[in-house]
Structure formats: C-alpha cells, structure tokens
Amino acid sequence: MPTSEVLLDGTHDPRQLRNALGRFSTGVTVITTRAPSGKREGLTANSFSALSLSPPLVLWSLVSKSASLPGFLAAGHFAIHVLASNQADISHRFATPSADKFAGLAVEEGLDGAPLLSDVLAVFECSTERSLEAGDHVLFIGQVRRIRYADGDPLIFNAGRYCTALPMRSPTAESDLDAVWDGLG
C-alpha cells in the first residue's frame, strides 16, 4: 500500500494533515444552542466524541473564527444531534454560513431553549462544563443532562466524503464487544 510521510515542520501543505485526519471515519453531528440574545446557532461538526461515562461528559471543538463562537460561549449549553444516513442535506445546511440556518426547519425547544432537530439518531443535551482555547479551535466539554436515541443507519464522514456504514459479517466483527464496553462502564 503506497504511504505518504510528511514532517510537520511548519512548511508542510495543510492538506496533508487533513488527508491523514480524514482516514479516521466519524459520524456527523449538528450542534445547536440558543444564545442569551435569543439567536439560534448551529453548525455541522465531526469533532464530537464521548469523554466520560460517570459523570457523563462529551466533547467537541469549534474553530475560533466561527461566527457562532460568541453565542456558544455565552449560552453555556448545547445540544448535539447525531445525523442519520439520509440527512446529508441537513449536514450541508449547517456547514454553510447563513444568517438563519434554521429557516423553514421544524424544531422543538429543548433544555435552556436549545433548538432540537427531528428524525436524528441521537440527541445529547448538555450544559457547558468547560471551554478552553486549543490551537485554532475552542474545545467544549459538556455534561450530558438528557439523551434521546433511536435505531437507524448513521451518516458517516470519511476522507472528505459522506458515506454509509455496512456492518461486517465475520466472527471477529460479531465477537462479544458488549463485554468490552461493560468492562468500561
């Protein structure tokens, strides 16, 4: 398999780092909040990750130059929506700067007034536990206050493209992963 190797010495092409990071497939989320001004903010993010089970903590990061950063910092809460495989259009909408990304969308009001999207695979309503500047992003750690989840196929982001997931059919894939997770909890 041909492999690229790049020394990150400040003269490298930033696309090389993006290429390497893109080898790590993720789900796709939309993260929303309601700023104290009442303005609804939201963006597509694949930096979401589980952090702690007890207490229940999750994390994600927002690029510092984002128009929605002041709103997320002031709100002190956010709602993370895990998108289903038929929601690439929602991902595109919330990844595109706009005065009102929610225009024409049916939303429900969540805890602290965060706008909640419908028909997603999971929702994590959080209060901001901590935010910290890290490089060109701000890291948000959230304490999860309420969850919702449903069955369905996830939207996947891999190598800069939307994909769908196919379960593997092999003895290794069907081994008892539940036991591993139970050991962590």
Ligand X SMILES: Cc1cc2nc3c(=O)[nH]c(=O)nc-3n(C[C@H](O)[C@H](O)[C@H](O)COP(=O)(O)O)c2cc1C
Enter the tokens of residue 150: 């449903």
Residue from 45, 90, 120, 144 binding ligand X (CB under 6 A): 45
- Rounded Cα gap, residues 32 and 51, in angstroms: 19
C-alpha distance from residue 113 to each of 36, 71, 118, 122 (Å)? 10, 13, 15, 18
46 sits near ligand X (criterion: CB under 6 A):
yes
| Contact flags string 143-172 toward ligand X, x per CB under 6 A | --------------x---------------
Q: Is 28 in the site for ligand X (CB under 6 A)?
A: yes
Which residue stretch of 92-100, 104-112, 144-152, 165-173 sits at the interface with ligand X (rule: CB under 6 A)? 92-100
Closest CA to 117 of 43, 51, 35, 50: 43
Cβ atoms of residues 168 and 175 within 8 Å? no
Site for ligand X contains 43 (CB under 6 A): yes
Q: List residues binding ligand X (CB under 6 A).
A: 28, 43-47, 60-63, 66-68, 91, 95-97, 157
